[in-house]
Structure 1
Amino acid sequence: MTKSAMSVENPADLPPSDSDIRRRRIRIRAWRRGLRELDILMGGFVDARVDALGDAELVELEELLDLPDAELLSWLAGGVAPPPERDTALLKAIIAFHTHDGPIH
């Protein structure tokens, strides 16, 4: 096999890594919550930030996606404080992502 035959000219020709597949699954789950409000909240955050999350944060995000819709929405909408074990930097980042102090253009 020649060197040119072994090289990959287009990165899109590479098979997806386990990490890529995991992120795709998270995107799908985030956009198909069951409640449109959560689709927008979780899907918007995931689309914008999932590629920057580390493995531990991906595990935590998957755990959040496993929670009942009503429970997760109550935390994100600010009506109910999350329990201490769920009041994490990731949950705060999701809430902050959707908090706008200024006008939205």
Structure 2
Amino acid sequence: MRELDQLFERWLAHGWPAASEAERGVFLRLLDCEDDRLWRWFMGYEACPDAALSGLIARIRALPA
């Protein structure tokens, strides 16, 4: 899904360089999730049940466009 790709590209450009190894691991786990589930989480239609993933989703959403 192109919209998710744009969010992830923004994270890779702005967040990845300064991310800790733990946070990078969370990002890699996020990439393993199904696109439809990711879309619902990023759009706020559904709450992510994993606290680490949910926190990263919030940080990605807060990045400037």
TM-score by length of 2: 0.81
Task: Tell me the residue number matched to 2:17.
Answer: 51
1:10-61 alpha-carbon deviations (Å, 9 max, x no partner)? xxxxxxxxxxxxxxxxxxxxxxxxx111111111122111100000001000
Give how far 1:84 is off.
Answer: 4.2
Of 81, 87, 92, the residue aligned with 2:54 is 87
- Give RMSD over aligned pairs: 1.8
Describe the SS at the equivalent of 1:87. Answer: helix
**Over 3 Å off, 4+ runs:** none
> Which is helix-richer, 1 or 2?
2
Aligned length: 64
| Counterpart for residue 34 of structure 2 | 68
Q: Tell me what 1:19 maps to.
A: none
| Gaps in structure 2 of 5+ consecutive residues | none
Q: Which residue of 2 aligns with 1:25?
A: none
Question: Which has more radius of gyration?
Answer: 1
TM-score by length of 1: 0.54
